Amino acid sequence: MADKARVAVLISGRGSNMAALIYAAKADDCPFAIALVSGDKPDAPGLALAEAEGVKVVRLNSKELGKTYWNDLQKTLDDGGVDYVALAGFMKIIPTDFVSRWAGRMVNIHPSLLPKYKGLHTHQHALDNGDTTTGATVHLVTPELDSGEILGQVEVAILPGDTAETLDRRVLIAEHQLYPRVLASFVSRPLDAGWIEGRVDALVSALPHVIRKTSHGSPGWGVGSEKTAKLFAIIADHHHGEQAVGLLVKASGPDEMTGLIEAQGDIYYWPKYYGASGWLGIKLNRRDVDWDQVADWLERSWRACAPPRMTKLMRVAEEF
Ligand code: GRF
């Protein structure tokens, strides 16, 4: 499978979830590859397993490195061409600037059905509260502990007589199923046309007087009233054999378009048929899309297509 997402797994101990990810990544159709395994403890037992499986291991000692630890870890991830970080029993509190650098690209597995039981001793809390089910959650990592967007969960029944230890063992089996499955669908999201369209739709909804329209069957957005709306953005999903799931927006003309395509051919392209009418293609089925830039293009295209009275209102509003 071409274009696999490169995942770094960070561990502090046993690494059984890491192992589950390594074995899942051995399947040809798995959308991620394990680029490297690292962590904060050079003697974490899981590291030896990763090495035995031929996965690159970078041993870092956070105690010895002190303040430089996070820079060294960042450099390790940069050098490894890492797209995503998967925490698997990584026991260090992560500084906010490191979390921001990996915002939307760092995930964790937690042994409870979040938002229930953040932090430690989750199984004991579930037992103390008389719960009949518990489980595990894969979530995005944000500065607040165990609070990022939930990407997937699995429920595990609590049996009479269960202790924190028995529960831990059974939840772990469920974790090993959950993590690879959720990570696989998470890393596939940015290349999925439906997900891309949803993301563009959310950005477009910030603009005034927008309605959904189609262009020769492709989803798009127009500005104006139901009758007169003029298209300013179109999603071209592998249009006429093109590689891109592209966003088509209005550029100022062929000079700007050819300039952008020559300078940044991995981002911009000349869309078949549409290019001739001034539509610029922005390839969105990439892992490194700058969504702020996409928002700017949408606004620019909206302005180019909106009737003068609407852009005038916007200019007036901006003056305040
Ligand atoms: C797992 O229970 C996981 O949910 C939690 O830490 C434990 C790590 O176990 N975050 P392992 O090192 O993956 O075996």
Which residue bears the tokens 């939930």?
150
Instruction: Please identify, by atom number, the ligand 1 atom nearest to the C-alpha of residue 87.
Output: 10
140 CA distance to ligand 1 centroid (A)? Answer: 16
**What local confidence, expressed as pLDDT, does residue 2 receive?**
59
Contact (CB, 8 A) for 4 and 82: no
Report whether residue 21 contacts ligand 1, using a CB cutoff of 6 Å: no
CA-closest residue to ligand 1 atom 9: 89
CB of 13 shorter than 6 A to ligand 1: yes
45/60 Cα distance (integer angstroms): 14
Q: Which amino acid is at 126?
A: A
**Ligand 1 atom nearest to 171, measured from its CA:** 2
Give the Å distances, CA to CA, from 227 to 51, 206, 207, 231: 64, 21, 18, 12
In ligand 1, the atom with minimum distance to the C-alpha of 19 is 13
Going by alpha carbons, the residue nearest to atom 10 of ligand 1 is 89
Amino acid at 302: W
Tens digits of residue pLDDT in 256-281: 999 999 999 999 999 999 999 999 99
Distance CA 219, CA 265 (A): 24
111 CB within 6 A, ligand 1: yes
Index of the ligand 1 atom closest to the CA of residue 20: 13
Position 226 scores a pLDDT of 84
110 is catalytic: yes
Quote the ligand 1 centre to 288 CA distance (angstroms): 29
Distances (CA, A) of 84 to 10, 123, 207, 241: 11, 28, 31, 29
| Residue ranges of the chain with per-residue pLDDT less than 50 | none
Q: Which of 10, 11, 17, 106 to mutate to test the pocket of ligand 1 (most atoms within 8 A of CB)?
A: 17
For the entire predicted model, the pTM comes to 0.88
